[in-house]
Structure 1
Amino acid sequence: MFSADTYNFEVQPGTRNHKGYFVQETAYKLVGIDQAGWALICQDNTTCHYVDPDNLHEVLGQTVM
């Protein structure tokens, strides 16, 4: 379960976005989860992906820039 006060996550190895492309294994900020169940994650202001929320795990004690 994800805690409500942190939004920093990493993707599991082999995670693909909603288009089927592999997502870089790095830290992301969770923006939200849409009605279809996809998690919107962003690495920065221009790099965002929709992924399966089950492929995310919390990053504790780190800040995503």
Structure 2
Amino acid sequence: MDIVAVKPETRDRKGFFIHEAAYKLMGVDRSGWAIICRNDATCHYVDPDDLQLPDVSGIALD
């Protein structure tokens, strides 16, 4: 599992804004949505193009 961040203004597949934070990338489903989770209870489906890899300080790279 990779740690990723989301770009500002990222929305999930239902159209809701996603909090800018570090997430675990769980994978990509068959329809192309990335599955990201903050913990065992909070996961989101997002466009993979809206993901960023954080730098060593934990801040997302542009």
Which runs of no fewer than 5 residues in structure 2 stay unpaired?
none
Which runs of no fewer than 5 residues in structure 1 stay unpaired?
1-5
- In the TM superposition, structure 1's runs of 4+ consecutive aligned residues that sit over 6 Å from their partners are none
TM-score (norm 2): 0.86
Question: Alpha carbon RMSD of aligned pairs, Å?
Answer: 1.2
- Equivalent position to 1:35, from 30, 33, 48: 30
- 2:45 corresponding residue in structure 1: 50
Instruction: Give a deviation string over 1:2-58, Cα, whole Å, max 9, x none.
Output: xxxx60000000000000000000000000000100000000110000000000011
Shift of 1:59: 1.8
TM-score (norm 1): 0.82
Percent of residue pairs identical: 49
